Every structure is written in structure tokens, then in C-alpha cells.
Amino acid sequence: MKTNNALTYLTVLICTTSLFNCINSYTVEQVKIDFSKPIKTFTAGELKKYDGSQEGKPIYMAIKGVVFDVSAGRDFYGKGTAYNALAGLDCSRAVAKMSLDASDLNNDLTGLTDQQLKSLDDTFKGTYVAKYPIAGYMNYLVREQKLRQQQVNDEL
């Protein structure tokens, strides 16, 4: 009896591990910054200044470290509107989950499903890149890409 229980447990463990590996197989497409042109870099604090609360000031939001000028969508992202919670933040997680929950208003993609990550990429390209101008990039993305570029140069 104990052998059957141990075998059942091992089978469940292997199946669960295999299922987990299949579920987390989607890789988010990386953003590539063109450093040959001048770019504007934002910290979280700087981005927060463009949250739609000040009339006449642009409204910015970031997804995947790319800061978009969503001012043309003021009816959606302006003060007191449905999606204003996203303005002035890097809200990649919220966009991936289609959530306005305060705990999702950040750029942490940890623990998201393949479906959510794919949704993030699709929304990033199909909505934001297609409709809104890029105002700049989050400092963490610029730092990561410069580091990656330096590592490639060091390997050559």
C-alpha cells in the first residue's frame, strides 16, 4: 500500500512539474531601444508627475519600460476617468492582467501566466505602439539594455 501511495505521489509531482513548465513557456518580447537617437529617461517619480491630474500637462504611462504619451486618450486616462489609475505609472502587470487593482499597478511580471504575458505583448503592440507616441523609457529598461549591450561588446 505504501509503495502505491509513494508511486502516486511521484506521478502527481512529475505531472505537476511538467504542466508548470508548459504553462510558463511564453517569453515576453524584449523592447529594443535605439541609442543612436537622443532618448528621454524617466524614473518612477518623474513619471508620476504625468498622471493626468494637472490640466494642460501631458499624460504618460509606461508598459514594458516604454513611456507612452497617452494624452490623445485623455477621455480614458485623464483625471477622474476609468483608466486614470494607469497614468503616471509603469503598469505592465495591470495591462497583462487587464486589472485596475492597486496591487497590479507595477511592472513586476513575476508569476503571470502565458496567456497574460501574451496579452501584454499583444496590447503593447496593437494598442500602445500603434496609437500613442513614445515619450521615453523607464530608467530600469535603459540600464538593463546598456548593461546587455556592454556584455555583448565585452564578449567580442
Provide the pLDDT for residue 7. Answer: 39
User: Under a CB-based contact definition with an 8 Å cutoff, are residues 123 and 95 in contact?
Assistant: yes
User: Under a CB-based contact definition with an 8 Å cutoff, are residues 120 and 109 in contact?
Assistant: yes
- What's the CATH code, domain 28-155? 3.10.120.10
Q: Which residues contact 106 (CB under 8 A, 6 or more apart)?
A: 89, 90, 91, 92, 93, 94
Provide the pLDDT for residue 156. Answer: 79
* Confidence check: pLDDT of 8 > 60: no
% of the chain beyond a pLDDT of 70:
85
Q: What is the pLDDT of residues 37-52, one digit of tens each?
A: 999 999 999 999 999 9
Record the cell numbers describing residue 130, joined without a space.
500603434
* Confidence check: pLDDT of 6 > 50: no
**pTM (predicted TM-score):** 0.81
Q: What is the pLDDT of residues 51-106, one digit of tens each?
A: 999 989 999 999 999 999 999 999 999 999 999 999 999 999 999 999 999 999 99
| Rounded Cα–Cα distance for residues 83 and 75 (Å) | 9
| Rounded Cα–Cα distance for residues 29 and 73 (Å) | 25
Q: Which residues contact 38 (CB under 8 A, 6 or more apart)?
A: none
User: Under a CB-based contact definition with an 8 Å cutoff, are residues 124 and 132 in contact?
Assistant: no
